């Protein structure tokens, strides 16, 4: 019985890690695309997990809600923060703290 329990735990951890890596890769690509679409520089070519929680999707199923943060610059001198909000595998919105005012981009507005 202990072997079965350990196997289930390892499988669950592997699934969680794989899901987290796919979400991070998607957030990275969409953060870079959002920066390109508004004409700013995507800095450091990376995103970092800022928040992780549980929530319900539109069908009422429990999903992970993740917020990834990244940095961008309009002038190459001052760093600004951007965020990619995800619910499960779906990107809900991308938010840029642009110096001219906040910008919220829906994922379907970006070219892939």
| Cα(22)–Cα(27) distance, integer angstroms | 9
Give Cα 73 distance to the centre of its chain.
Answer: 19
Strands 90-96 and 62-73: unpaired
The answer to which of 27-36, 68-77, 81-90, 99-108 has the lowest mean pLDDT is 99-108
Tens of pLDDT along 23-77? 999 999 999 999 999 999 999 989 999 999 998 888 888 999 999 999 999 888 8
Other C-beta atoms lying within 10 Å of the C-beta of residue 34: 27
Other C-beta atoms lying within 10 Å of the C-beta of residue 79: 12
Q: What pTM, to 2 d.p., does this model score?
A: 0.85
Entry field: residues in the chain = 112
Q: What backbone phi and psi angles, to 5 degrees, belong to 76?
A: 80, 0
Give Cα 108 distance to the centre of its chain.
Answer: 15
Output the average pLDDT for the chain. Answer: 90
């Amino acid at each position: 019985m202990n072997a079965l329990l350990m196997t289930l735990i390892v499988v669950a951890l592997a699934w969680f890690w794989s899901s987290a890596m796919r979400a991070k890769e998607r957030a990275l690509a969409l953060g870079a695309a959002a920066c390109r679409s508004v004409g700013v520089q995507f800095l450091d070519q990376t995103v970092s997990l800022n928040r992780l929680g549980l929530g319900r999707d539109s069908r009422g199923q429990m999903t992970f809600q993740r917020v990834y943060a990244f940095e961008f610059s309009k002038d190459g001198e001052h760093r600004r923060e951007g965020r990619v909000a995800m619910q499960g595998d779906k990107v809900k919105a991308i938010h840029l703290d642009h110096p001219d005012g906040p910008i919220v981009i829906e994922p379907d507005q970006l070219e892939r």
